[in-house]
Amino acid sequence: MNLPTMHSELEKYLPAFRQQLNKWITFSDEEWAIVSQHLQLKTLRKKEYFTQAGSTCKELGFILSGALRLYHLKDIEEITSYFCLANDFICSYKSFLKQQPGFSYIQAITDTLLITFTYDGLQQLLNHPLTAHKTERFGRLIAEDLIFCYEDRVQAFVTQSPEERYISLLNNNSRILQHIPQHYLANYLGITPVSLSRIRKRILEPGK
């Protein structure tokens, strides 16, 4: 897709993105005119990477459609840490903030469309007198959200069984169960696909 076409495509998504962004921070029309200059549209095909271990994450992405998973490699084993779906932000945040090589892989599970901020673009917003304060607050809120997700993940593995973790997803984040293939979900829960099938069967049995 050439740049003029990509820009016209981006324009279609900006109103909806701005509405979603209002949940985090509200920019005035004057501020938004500046912010929107630093937004880009990015497409990822299934299995394509947003970032990989050993490389520096250059972008913070907002998912318009599709699904991504964040995982690490231990020896040759993939360990899934989290999933992100439409209306989620995605980033290897430590790598992004420090602009150093990271340890995470972020891979598209399906064809995915994102709006992205580059690191350099955010630095320009942080240095602009009209957008500096709100951009800094936006970054803090994103960081807090990622910390909360990490703590919830650690707490679940310390205090819950795989079945309890699955039930928690069922009750609190069921859209993950609707969009994520079973083998990735089993990896995320720390069990085999066969064990996950047994858990699902038990939960679906009458009286459970």
pLDDT averaged over every residue in the chain: 89
Residue 161 maps to a domain: no
Q: Rounded CA gap, 147 and 94, in Å? A: 11
CA-nearest of 123, 115, 112 to 19 is: 115
pLDDT score recorded for residue 4:
46
Instruction: Place 2 in a pLDDT band, splitting at 50, 70 and 90.
Output: very low
* Mean pLDDT along residues 96-115: 95
CA-nearest of 102, 72, 106, 101 to 89 is: 106
pLDDT score recorded for residue 3:
46
- Sheet of 105-108: strand order equals 49-51, 105-108, 67-74, 77-85
Q: Model pTM? A: 0.89
Q: Rounded CA gap, 107 and 112, in Å? A: 10
pLDDT score recorded for residue 206:
57
pLDDT exceeds 80 at position 14: yes
Residue 142 maps to a domain: no
pLDDT score recorded for residue 207:
55
CA-nearest of 84, 88, 113 to 179 is: 84
CATH number of the domain enclosing 84: 2.60.120.10
Residue 108 maps to a domain: yes
For the ranges 58-67, 107-116, 143-152, the lowest mean pLDDT is seen at 143-152
pLDDT score recorded for residue 1:
46
Give the residue with greater pLDDT, 143 vs 208. Answer: 143
pLDDT exceeds 50 at position 129: yes
pLDDT score recorded for residue 6:
55
Residue 37 maps to a domain: yes
| Residues spanned by the domain of 60 | 3-131
* Mean pLDDT along residues 131-155: 86
Domain count, the chain: 1
